[in-house]
A and B are shown apart, each in its own frame.
Chain A
Amino acid sequence: MVKLIQAREQKMHQITSAEQLKFKELITKFLPLSIRQILDNLSLESIQSLEEIRLRKGKPLFLRFHERESMVNSVGQSVSCLSQAYHVTEDDIERTLHLISQSSLYALEEEIRNGYITIPGGHRIGFVGQAVLDGLKVKTIKYISSLNIRLARQVVGCATKIIPFLYNNTEQRPYNILIVSPPKCGKTTLLRDVIRLFSSGFYCSTKREKIKFNVGLVDERSEIAGCYLGIPQNDIGPRTDVLDGCPKAEGMIMLVRSMAPQIVATDEIGRPEDVGAIEEMLNCGISLITTAHGATLADLENRPILKQLINSNIFDRYVFLGRTLGPGTVETILDGKTKQNILLQPIQTLKRGF
């Protein structure tokens, strides 16, 4: 009995250290020693639910978890009083920039202009400071004052439960899907796994073999595939071609012409030029999977561009996400024509971890 308990404890310890090691390897090595010390003291549970690390010059260090935000002191204990919290120094910000860029800011001019850098693992570091303009365009950002390290959590398998709703069995093609959710409900995570499933294949009740498609992905903000030096850091399936960092409208057309995809996926549509690109693409018989910010269909209809898309009945399925059963809950799936819910009850899709 004692042996059993010991073995179990040992196993737990191994899991703990593996997860913590991974965290160290992927995240804390990009932070200066002072902040590294703080994060090294975090418990496994905290690491698993950590979503954002916010550094603001001269302000307390904030850690954002699933359900709460917390300030920490210099040894990693959470505190409630502003004055006890660890305050981020100018040196911390500068060092972080050096570390994430490998001291090569000159190589990241484009990223700095866009305001974020993707690091291995697909995690993103956004930053703001003072914009330097060249005419009307942002030339670069100087005096960087705030950094936000957003941890990308890939949850492989999170879309498995809903994939039957997204595949048109009679026409044997995926529906045109719009995933709708308020921020931080797992929109991108779900999109990523839907792409992975369509690309790597899944079993359907009526067919013996796997159903699989060639997917073209326009990853304008490097969030879905999380490319680092051109290599996707997230699992997006073996039949996915990624056009990284390309504007959506242009990228969709480019993909159709060059890669002959059966599905085109992209994140956060809503610009006027997207409509033209989508129409052209759908006329080629390609399925579209995309996302938009919002909570209800009415929200979407308040936005002229999306209203146009909804009224022309482009989408066959609307997947609405929420937080009733935690982040990543699929609340409803609406049919595109009838606008009726086809889901019996909300489905929880995300169980988090690195």
Chain B
Amino acid sequence: MLRFFGGILVVVVCTLWGLLIANNYKQRPLELRNLRSMLNLLETEIIYASTPLPIALDKIAKHADNNISKLFYKARDYLISGNGITADEAWQKALNDILNNSYLLEEDTGILKNFGIGLGCSGKNEQLKNIQLTKELLKKQELKAEQDKSQNERLWKTMGFLSGIAIVLLIF
């Protein structure tokens, strides 16, 4: 009886583990897409409305999904904290804060870090270039992430379950 339940436990854990990894593959392109559309909004705010950055970040955060929303809220909070930090520093700090809970990979955050360097410190033309470049790079990452997803999501979903079964068979 104990063996039976032990076996089931192993299978369940392995399945969940597989689902978790599969979920990473599923969420990453979603986050990247959300980021890209939020950058579109930021572009409108900066280029057409000349909205000051803290207000623009706040507006965007309201429209963004969970993790991305946190990124924008945190960047805004750091920016208006009155500690004398620049937009770049606020952005990098916010990025570091959300990194652990995000599905983004290091190559994605690298792009975002570079984006922060030019944030807010130049005229509209340069801001536009910076945003557009970042959007393009994120789009490439998104395509890659989609590919990874189609290759790996189903694989990990089934693999978790199957490896659970395999372990059970091997042990008993």
**A interface with B by C-beta (< 8 Å):** 29, 31-33, 36, 94-95, 97-99, 101-107, 109, 112, 140
Q: Using CB atoms, name the residue of chain B closest to A132.
A: B123
Complex CA gap A279/B123 in Å reads 40
Contact of A106 among B46, B82, B84 (CB under 8 A): B46
Contact between chains at B83 and A33 (CB < 8 Å): yes
Q: How far is the CB of B83 from chain A (nearest CB, A)?
A: 7
Contact between chains at A103 and B127 (CB < 8 Å): no
Helix, strand, loop or mixed for chain A's interface?
A: helix
Complex CA gap A32/B127 in Å reads 24
Contacts A33-B84, A98-B87 hold; do A104 and B123 have CB atoms under 8 A apart? no
**B interface with A by C-beta (< 8 Å):** 46-47, 50-54, 56, 79-80, 82-84, 86-87, 90, 119-124, 126-127
Kindly list chain A residues whose C-beta atoms are within 8 Å of the C-beta of B126.
Answer: 106
Complex CA gap A125/B79 in Å reads 20
Complex CA gap A104/B123 in Å reads 9
Contact between chains at A103 and B84 (CB < 8 Å): no
Helix, strand, loop or mixed for chain B's interface?
A: loop
For the complex of A and B, list the 4 residue pairs with the smallest distance between their C-beta atoms, beginning with the closest.
A103-B87, A103-B120, A107-B50, A104-B52
Kindly list chain B residues whose C-beta atoms are within 8 Å of the C-beta of A102.
Answer: 52-54, 79-80
Complex CA gap A103/B56 in Å reads 11
Kindly list chain B residues whose C-beta atoms are within 8 Å of the C-beta of A101.
Answer: 52, 120
Contact of B121 among A29, A32, A105 (CB under 8 A): A105
Complex CA gap A31/B54 in Å reads 18
Cross-chain pairs A/B with CB under 8 angstroms, 8 sampled: A95-B86, A103-B79, A104-B52, A104-B56, A106-B122, A107-B46, A109-B123, A140-B123
Q: Using CB atoms, name the residue of chain A closest to B79.
A: A103
Q: A106-B47, A106-B122, A107-B50 are in contact. List 4 more A-B contacts (CB 8 A).
A: A32-B84, A103-B119, A106-B50, A106-B126
Contact of B120 among A36, A106, A109 (CB under 8 A): A106
Query: Of residues A31, A36, A94, A99, which shows the largest number of chain B Cβ atoms within 10 Å of its Cβ?
Result: A99
